[in-house]
Structure 1
Amino acid sequence: MRADARKNYSHILTVAREVVTEHGADASMRDIARRAGVGLATLLRHFPTREALFEALLCTNLDALTQKADELETSNSPEEALVSWFREWMAFAQSYRGVVALMAAAHTNPDSALYASCAAVHSASTRLLLRAQAEGTARTDMNGDDLFGLMSALGWLVDLPSFAPRADHLAHIVTSAILTNPSSNGVKKATR
């Protein structure tokens, strides 16, 4: 990539991050281009779809999130790792309004620009769940798809202003339903 194209790319991402933070995943591509001082064609040359733009915006965050799963897998007990993973996911989901819906839609679409990121989150979730199941601390009647679905549903729910203040409490309820004995395994009840 030429130096001027790389500079445009970085500038567009910086502006896009600001616009998406303000307006969520439904931010207008035209608005992003206008605020970045480039034409829509230039924006679309770099990011041909909204998903491609979000993949670029979220790449660092998702890499850090999946890295966190690797750390949790080796440094925490299985049930603590699963609870911590849920909290990490919730923090991520709340960082960009509307991104969870995009990820949930891309989860089964290999043609989506977000597919690889979704697959990485799904895989990390599955590993943490399987580890807890192997230790007998998580329900055995669920799989990675179920866990990704619950995480996505909870991420979508706390994206709504009326539920955002209850995110920790809702995460506690969901993790308590997944874990086999949440009252004795160090899972602290969140306050409402």
Structure 2
Amino acid sequence: MPRSDAQRNYARILAVAEREVAEHGADASLEQIARTAEVGSATVRRHFPSRRALLDAVFRERVDALDGRALELADADDPRAALLDWLTALTEYAASARGMAAALIQDEAPDRDHVCVRLTDAGEPLLRRAIEAGAVAAGVTSADLVAVVTGIVLATEHGRDPAGEALRLLGLAVRGISPS
């Protein structure tokens, strides 16, 4: 059990990191986060040994919500519609949360709690059902779909209407992946 001061530091660092990432994106300064949280940079690194660990913590609640949405859709009558509903939710979340698309980029050896791994795992049952129903080609993977959404969100994040443009491009991609 972490000491109470360590727990307070973690919570304060995370709260500051959420604000800084929302304002500056995934490249938010770790030193600025430490200064604003009134802790040393070593304390930030002790709690979050990498930028990836910090981003995963910042977006944990959003990822939890997407995991929950995938579970809600798992037994839907229309597997294609369920998968598209979840991909739309993923795109909307990623496009509305500055820095989340960068967190979705999979590095070489991500751990099980990595944002990208968690979302790939969450989408897998939905994709498998859509493939079994013949709504999606057999060679498509859940990692492919998360990568498509990541690319779309990265390509649109600096536009006037990032979420709207991302959803429009998702629609184009879906027509290629799963024509109705």
Q: Fold conserved (TM > 0.5)? A: yes
Tell me if structure 2 keeps the 8 A contact 1:94–1:159: yes
Q: Provide Cα deviations, 1:90-129, integer angstroms capped at 9, x if missing partner.
A: 12212432332332233x413x5863x3222112223212
- Asked if 2 retains the 8 angstrom alpha-carbon contact of 1:98 and 1:156, the reply is no
1:10-50 CA distance string (max 9 Å, x none): 11111110111000000000111111122212212211211
Q: Quick one: distance in 1 between partners of 2:112 and 2:8?
A: 22
- Asked if 2 retains the 8 angstrom alpha-carbon contact of 1:51 and 1:113, the reply is no
CA separation in 2, counterparts of 1:157 and 1:113?
26
What 5-or-longer segments of structure 1 have no aligned partner? Answer: 182-192
Q: Distance in 2 between matches of 1:136 and 1:124?
A: 20
Which residue number in structure 2 is paired with residue 190 of structure 1? Answer: none
For the residues of structure 1 that align with 2:139 and 2:45, how far apart are their CA atoms? 44
Tell me if 1:158 matches 2:156. Answer: yes
What amino acid sits opposite 2:29 in the alignment?
S
The yes-or-no answer on 1:175 pairing with 2:174 is yes
- State the alpha-carbon separation in 2 of the partners of residues 70 and 30 from structure 1: 38
Q: Structure 2: how far apart are the matches of 1:143 and 1:130?
A: 9
Instruction: Give the paired residue count.
Output: 178
CA–CA separation in structure 2 for the residues paired with 1:51 and 1:33: 16
Residues 76 and 4 from structure 1, CA distance in 2 versus in 1: closer, same or farther, beyond 3 angstroms?
farther
Identical counterparts, % of pairs: 34
- Write the mapping of 1:22-61 to structure 2, written as runs, cut at 5 A: 22-61=23-62
Paired residues for 1:1-192 under 5 Å: 1-106=2-107, 108-110=108-110, 115=114, 117-161=115-159, 164=162, 165-181=164-180
What 5-or-longer segments of structure 2 have no aligned partner? none
Q: 1:102 to 1:113 in 2, by over 3 A?
A: farther
